[in-house]
Amino acid sequence: MERSILYLLGSYPRWSETFLRQDLTLLQQLGVPLLPVALQEGDAEKQADWPAVQYLDPGQAGSTGISAESAASPGKASRFADRVAGWLPPGLRTQASLWKHGHWLRLLTELVRESACRHLHAEFADIAALMVATVARDLGLTYSLGVHARDIHAPKFRLKELIRGASFVTVCNAAALEQLQAACEISSDRVHLIYHGLILKDWSFAPPGPVLNTPIRLLFVGRLVAKKGLNDLIRAIHRAKETGLACELTIVGSGPEEEGLRTMAKWLCVHELIHWHGVVPRERVRQELLQADCLVVPSVVSADGDRDGIPNVVVEAMAVGRPVIGTRVGGLGEALFDETAWLCEPGKPETIFQRLREVHADPQHAWEKCGEARRLVERSFDALVTARDRAELFRTMVSQS
């Protein structure tokens, strides 16, 4: 089959980007002629049922690109170069990145010519988008971008420059879309709101019974970074301990904040109530979710302006009937309402604790609210529907090229 669209990812596979693997799989199943390519390996071990990609420079490490260890832990020189680039104005940062990654630019240009792809697409407005926009311009081809929350709230490059020549841009939540349009003045016919969703048949509704476990089993899933607000959750656990409300917290994920969070837990004497599981396979995440009484999403706006979109695990919890305690920061406000979740205020641990007490005090009301959450997922987050919307955009580009 002719593969007319080069679909470029920065690092693949990444543990936290379940939605990208699902989107890619569904697009391929719908017959979209994609050539999936990644610049380098990500931080997760590839699973047999994940979509395969071609690495741009397989000679860097055997036949599969650079190692996941190297991707996750770049050398001192690379980290220093990245820090220096971060200090530069956006325009100079772009030029510095093109110079630093000139070999990727050459390899991508050669691959596009050899494969005869007629349209280029990049997910995330990062180095992959910069590569795609540059090569498309040089070769006179069309390109498109999939833009996500961090790209808009804490951009690495001048977003306006990246999307200026794009035939279309997809955005995965309305909050990010609104800010994108305000910042970049992109016309409404070129930008499309398309949520990441779930394959609903794989996520059966199974809410907890009328009595919650003792201790209450809380779950957090995600990268351990500032925008996730985990320090507030740990303080809420401390508050619960002080009042005699028995609960335990399972944390699934890793990240740069982990050491500081562990220190905080010990200082507050709640470390024995917290179970740190690190990065685990996605099926293990599902098991943890089904065993939990409640998912907690205490997201905040980080110092650099970054904030959450709609994390997949939030939609998964709503689909299977687990209560969600969370803020409405960023895209979360499009899934978490008074009717579907227990809302807390960003940066205020006391409100997390109060919502936890409410869930514990009235399991019957929790069951009813979880039912409304499931109905919202069915209306707005059906991955088969959203995949068809994405596929139609790509087919239009192929027909026009």
For the chain, what is the domain count? 2
> pLDDT 10s per residue in the chain (401 long)?
467 999 999 999 988 888 999 999 999 999 999 999 999 998 888 888 899 999 998 765 433 333 333 333 344 444 444 554 555 555 677 777 778 888 999 999 999 999 999 999 999 999 999 999 999 999 999 999 999 988 888 888 888 889 999 999 999 999 999 999 988 888 889 999 999 999 999 999 998 766 667 899 999 999 999 999 999 999 999 999 999 999 999 999 999 999 999 999 999 999 999 999 999 988 999 999 999 999 999 999 999 999 999 999 999 999 999 999 999 999 999 999 999 999 999 999 999 999 999 999 988 888 889 999 999 999 999 999 999 999 999 999 998 87
Q: What b/e string do you get for 242-272 counting C-beta neighbours within 10 Å, with b at 16 or more?
A: eeebebbbbbbbbeebbeebbebbeebebee
If asked whether residues 373 and 232 sit together in one domain, one would say yes
What CATH number should be reported for the domain holding residue 208?
3.40.50.2000
Same-domain status, 162 and 73: yes
Radius of gyration of the chain (CA): 22
Report the distance separating Cα 7 and Cα 51, nearest Å: 12
Domain span including residue 259: 201-380
CA distance 188 to 163: 13
Task: Report CA-CA distances (Å) from 229 to 240, 273, 347, 349.
Answer: 17, 18, 7, 9
Task: Indicate whether 389 and 371 sit together in one domain.
Answer: no
Do both 320 and 373 map to the same domain? yes
**188 and 241, same structural domain?**
no
Measured distance CA(76)–CA(81) in Å, rounded: 9
Q: Are residues 208 and 192 in the same domain?
A: no
180 and 157 share a domain?
yes
Contacts of 133 (CB under 8 A, 6+ apart): 122, 143, 145, 161, 162, 165, 166
Are 139 and 259 within one domain?
no
| 331 shares a domain with 252 | yes
In terms of domains, do 211 and 306 share one? yes
Q: Do 29 and 58 belong to one domain?
A: yes
Q: What pTM does this model have? A: 0.87
* C-beta separation of 96 from 46 below 8 A: no
Residues 13 and 56 in one domain: yes
Of 122, 167, 186, 130, nearest to 398 (Cα)?
167
Please tell me the total number of residues recorded for the chain in this structure: 401
The residue assigned the tokens 């969370």 is 326
CB of 288 closer than 8 Å to CB of 252: yes
